[in-house]
Amino acid sequence: MTEPKTMEGKPGGWSETRDADKETQWICDQVRSLVQRKTNKIYQEYRAVKYRSQVVAGTNYLLKVCVGGPSYIHLLVYQALPCYEGQLRLSGVQENKTQDEPLYPFVN
């Protein structure tokens, strides 16, 4: 399966998939308790590995998180603009993902 075409550089377009960094791990850490509540699971491992972003009135993040061995989840997180204190909102979680599965935007 090939990566979907992006509209990077265009308003509202999703970025290419990138390796996770300290900022994306921090975002994942901030919503961890919400993710665990939503999935009804406690994750011993919870490591951001890939992400895509979309600039809107704030930023949407689509994140691939390793939750142990071959198990991955995809998260959709919205970060408000700094003038709204940059608050984070967990918009969705998809379970049973794989390491190689591409990050596609989803509604949950």
Domain map of the chain by residue range?
Answer: 18-97
Structure tokens at 108: 């949950």
Q: What are the residues whose beta carbons fall under 8 Å from the beta carbon of 89, sequence distance 6 or more? A: 77, 78, 79, 80
Mean pLDDT check: name the lowest of 11-20, 22-31, 37-46, 91-100: 11-20
Angle at 45 between CA 39 and CA 47, to 5 degrees: 95
**pLDDT, tens digit, for every residue of 23-80?**
999 999 999 999 999 999 999 999 999 999 999 999 999 999 999 999 999 999 999 9
The verdict on domain 18-97 having CATH code 3.10.450.10 is yes
